[in-house]
Amino acid sequence: MPMKKCKILVCVLLFCLGISLISNYTLLQKDAIMNNSSEDSRMNKSYSSSYVPHDAIWIQSNEEFISQADLEGWAGNGSEANPFVITGYSFNQVTQPLRIWNTNLHWIFSDNIVDGISGAQCGTWIQDVSNGAIVDNEFLNRHSGLYLKNLENFIISGNSIHDNYGYGLEIPGEITNCNISDNTITECLEGGIRIINRITNCSIIDNTISQCNAFGLLVTGGVHDSSLMGNIVEEINGFGIFVAMAANSQIALNKIYNSSDDGLTISGLNQCVVDENYIEDINGIGMILKNSVSSEIANNQINNCEENGIEVESGQNSTIMWNIIQDCLGYALEFDINTEFFDVRYNAFVSDLIDCQLHDEGISNIVSQNYYSDWTSPDDDADGYVDEPYDIDGLAENQDLFPLVEAGIVPELPFTTTETTANSATTNNTQNNPDIVMQLALAGGSVAVLLIFAGIIVLKRR
């Protein structure tokens, strides 16, 4: 075989060998990644076989807590720096597996499994307790996953709560300075989170609630100086989030999808901020506001509702700004008869499903500088505003005099009508004439003063 052909053959063989090595390395690397991923998954998944079966824990005082901690050998001493730690157990009783009443010691119930037999009793019954934490546990097959009442300085975080006959989390008593966060609640037959008493200085944040009946998140006893933020509520056979009697609180960054009823309902809000919520695919109304006073509804996005996007049933002196409402079968925004002095600006109302996107039955509601997808021209003077006002349905006979040509772009307000121009000219003349008179008076006064001084000097020289 000629030398040239041998060289070519050797090169081809080396190339094939290189491809084979690269392929094998890639497969090995992929297997290693998959093995690591599976190992991580196994490490993160809870197996009941790795937990120690335990009888129900019932504690009704600090003294009982200390006594049982000593008996069980629980870590900690009940102080803030060194709380008691109850961990590594599995529970499967008809009665409540964890019942703690009337204590203020510091403790953590963590990394346990609370299963059930008949669903007759709740997973926990915690009442008149402060300084506790229920973290990173699994609750299933109970009546309600957790039942808590009259708490202070309490944490409920990172729990998996699912397949319960009642609620995922049931709180019938008042709670103060509590944190309910990062819990996953699924397939609870009566609802996700149910709070029916006052909450103060509390955070309900970053929870995921899905596939529950009746509602996702319900807070009806009053929300004071608190935050409901970052919660995901989806696939609810009922309404998404319902909040009653909120004051000085923020309801923000929540995502509500696929509710068979209304998305977000707030009944009674005073000096609250409702912003950056995302609401989509709702069979009822996207957002309902009742008795809204001095509150701000801003930067929310509402898509694909079978009824209205936002319905304001009552209230006054609140703002609705920078929201995007699109593809709702009803009105994008509707004001009922008991509304007054709302300020509606800079919103985008996008729909080709109805003839008019707004409806106003209220008194003295201001609607200005909003974008309407069905009203974007003409703009002959190119000032960024449609030349004709947008007529709003309803007995208020309201209009948006300055409809935006483009959503989100708000030019300075022009003087476009004869009346406005005349008033402007009149106002300008009224403002300018006194200024000219005053300037002439000052100038004349200055000349007079100079003449007097000059006269005095001349007389002195004489």
Can you read off the two tokens belonging to residue 271? 């000096």
**Mean pLDDT across the chain, nearest whole number?**
86
Q: How confident is the model at residue 8 (pLDDT cuts 50, 70, 90)?
A: low
Burial 150-189 (b: 16+ CB within 10 A, else e): bbbbbbbbbbbbbbbbbbbbbbebbbbbbbbbbbbbbbbb
- Does 439 map to a domain? no
Least-confidence region, from 82-86, 216-220, 351-355, 431-435: 431-435
Q: Which of 167, 219, 216, 171 is nearest to 189 (CA)?
A: 167
Q: Which helix (H) or strand (E) holds 176?
A: strand 175-181
- C-beta of residue 320 within 8 angstroms of C-beta of residue 274: no
The backbone torsions φ and ψ at residue 441, rounded to the nearest 5 degrees and listed phi first, read: -65, -45
Long-range contacts of 382-390 (CB under 8 A, 24+ apart): 383/411, 383/414, 383/416, 384/409, 384/410, 384/411, 385/411, 385/413, 385/414, 385/416, 387/416, 390/358
- Indicate if 295 and 386 belong to the same structural domain: yes
Compute, in degrees rounded to 10, the torsion defined by CA atoms 205, 239, 302, 403. -120
- Does 250 map to a domain? no
Number of domains in the chain: 2
Say which DSSP state 106 is in. -
- Indicate if 76 and 145 belong to the same structural domain: yes
SS3 210: strand
Give the mean model confidence (pLDDT) for residues 426-441. 37
- Does 343 map to a domain? yes
- Indicate if 268 and 195 belong to the same structural domain: no
Instruction: Report the 10 Å Cβ neighbour count for 350.
Output: 19
- Does 394 map to a domain? yes
- Indicate if 133 and 276 belong to the same structural domain: no
Q: What pLDDT sits at residue 403?
A: 98
- Does 290 map to a domain? yes
Q: How confident is the model at residue 5 (pLDDT cuts 50, 70, 90)?
A: low
Q: Give residue-wise pLDDT tens across range 299-324.
A: 999 999 999 999 999 999 999 999 99
Can you read off the two tokens belonging to residue 216? 């996702």
- Does 399 map to a domain? yes
Which residue, chain included where needed, has tokens 């106003």? 360
- Indicate if 269 and 382 belong to the same structural domain: yes
Instruction: Report the 10 Å Cβ neighbour count for 127.
Output: 18
The backbone torsions φ and ψ at residue 217, rounded to the nearest 5 degrees and listed phi first, read: -135, 125
- Indicate if 383 and 282 belong to the same structural domain: yes
- Indicate if 288 and 177 belong to the same structural domain: no
- Indicate if 293 and 414 belong to the same structural domain: yes
- Indicate if 191 and 309 belong to the same structural domain: no
**What totals of helices (H) and strands (E) does the chain contain, helices first?**
3, 42
User: In terms of pTM, does the model score above 0.85?
Assistant: no
What radius of gyration do the chain's Cα atoms show? 34
Can you read off the two tokens belonging to residue 335? 């004001």
- Indicate if 267 and 400 belong to the same structural domain: yes
- Indicate if 99 and 190 belong to the same structural domain: yes
- Does 115 map to a domain? yes
Question: CA 94, 100, 103 angle in degrees (round to 5)?
Answer: 175
Instruction: Report the 10 Å Cβ neighbour count for 434.
Output: 9
Q: Give residue-wise pLDDT tens across range 41-52.
A: 333 334 345 899
Can you read off the two tokens belonging to residue 450? 């100079």
Select from 165, 187, 206 the last residue of a domain.
206
CA atoms within 13 A on the CB side of 442: 6
- Indicate if 131 and 269 belong to the same structural domain: no
**Structural domain span for residue 182:** 48-206
Q: Give residue-wise pLDDT tens across range 99-127.
A: 999 999 999 999 999 999 878 899 999 99
Can you read off the two tokens belonging to residue 137? 């546990």
- Does 256 map to a domain? no
Q: Do β-strands 132-135 and 146-157 pair in parallel, antiparallel, or remain unpaired?
A: parallel
Q: Give residue-wise pLDDT tens across range 380-403.
A: 999 999 999 999 999 999 999 999
Contacts of 411 (CB under 8 A, 6+ apart): 383, 384, 385
